[in-house]
Chains A and B, each alone.
Chain A
Amino acid sequence: MSEKNHRVSRRQFLTYTLTGVGGFMAAGMLAPMVRMALDPALEAAGDSEFVSVGLSEDEVSEEPQRVDFSIELDDGWYSSEQSRSAWVLREGNEILALSPICTHLGCTVNWGTNEENPEEFFCPCHFGRFERDGTNIPGTPPTRPLDVYEVEVRDGMIYLGQINQRG
């Protein structure tokens, strides 16, 4: 090959450099936009983290029992531990973990604390009642069943995930 073919004209040099630099700048601007559009997809993995509640599968009976555990929460720069509770019980072949938050206005419900209805969840605030599987009892303030945690059994131990609404 002759020397001549390798020579780059001033015009070509400028085109190459400008395209190159421009390309970098465009990429720099586009990357955050693409990331932002994809962000929810990237974060979804963090939401479904499961936490052990220190209860084994065979300890779960038909009688609801309360478990307390804590999860790590990030709020802006501030990361904190938040305590959560659940009522864990066996319903047929399934394990059910009910959230103790009353679906009326958010008070904490308890199992069997109402003397007249010992086999129910009871909300002390406005006397809301729920059946053993969390179904709200008509005629009391709550309008939907108690929320449920996602349940996973790993090596015989109960792990709870995010809270989902039913009904």
Chain B
Amino acid sequence: MRWNENDAKTYQSAKEYVDTAIIPLLPVAGGKEQEEAVRMGEFTSYLTDFLERQYTGRVYLLPPFTYLKEESTEDRLERLKTWTEHFKNQGFSHFLYVTSDSRWRQADARDLGELVWIPAFSLAEMDTNKRQQSIEQQAQQIIPLMTEKWS
């Protein structure tokens, strides 16, 4: 399911089937670091879009969790915890966070859910088919982490 009205309606009627939330974690920065932040963001959204398309009926792709680069790890984690709690109370039982920002590697998010860090590469120069293939390849690494929780 995606963050739009139609899917939100479907979700209301099929709530018991959708138990997994995917949250992309996107850094935001201006100036010199902007380009890198954009690349991470683009890569992460392609990746999460792909996951959503494969598993539409069971996952809900939430809007990205964004933060400025200078926000400390503790603050970010605290906010992410609030998000997670909120959606946990709404009936989601599995959480998957996807990011390209290496600073999440130090964060201990084990009690929140599965945090996957995948280094970003530039997709801007690739044609559609090539992009599709490389995204699929990366996604194959994430999929088992998600599906093994289901069985």
Chain A residues within CB distance 8 Å of chain B: 68, 70, 81, 83, 102, 104-108, 123-126, 141
State whether A107 touches B56 (Cβ < 8 A): yes
Q: A70–B10 Cα gap in the complex (Å)?
A: 26
State whether B132 touches A105 (Cβ < 8 A): no
Which residues of chain A come closer than 8 Å to B128, judged between CB atoms?
70, 81, 83
Which residues of chain B come closer than 8 Å to A68, judged between CB atoms?
129, 132
- List 8 A-B pairs, minimum CB-CB distance, nearest first: A105-B57, A125-B58, A106-B56, A107-B57, A125-B57, A108-B54, A106-B57, A107-B55
Q: Does B86 contact A (CB under 8 A)?
A: no
User: Are A107 and B58 also in contact (CB < 8 A) when A124-B147, A125-B17, A126-B17 are?
Assistant: yes
Which bucket holds chain B's interface residue count? 10 to 19
Q: A3–B56 Cα gap in the complex (Å)?
A: 84
A interface SS class: loop
User: Could you say which of B14, B18, B55 contacts A124, with CB atoms under 8 Å apart?
Assistant: B55
* Listed A/B pairs (28) with beta-carbon separation below 8 Å: A68-B129, A68-B132, A70-B128, A81-B128, A83-B128, A102-B57, A104-B17, A104-B57, A105-B10, A105-B17, A105-B18, A105-B56, A105-B58, A106-B56, A106-B57, A107-B56, A107-B57, A107-B58, A108-B55, A123-B57, A124-B55, A125-B55, A125-B56, A125-B57, A125-B58, A126-B17, A126-B57, A141-B17
How many residue-residue contacts, CB under 8 A, span A and B?
42
Q: In whole Å, how far is B102's beta carbon from the nearest beta carbon of chain A?
A: 29
Q: Does B9 contact A (CB under 8 A)?
A: no
Which residues of chain B come closer than 8 Å to A123, judged between CB atoms?
57
Contacts A83-B132, A108-B54, A125-B17 aside, 17 further interface pairs with beta carbons under 8 A come to A70-B128, A83-B128, A102-B57, A104-B17, A105-B56, A105-B58, A107-B55, A107-B56, A107-B57, A107-B58, A108-B56, A123-B57, A124-B54, A124-B55, A125-B55, A126-B17, A126-B58
For chain B, residues 50 to 64, give those with C-beta under 8 angstroms from any C-beta of chain A: 53-58
Q: In whole Å, how far is A132's beta carbon from the nearest beta carbon of chain B?
A: 21
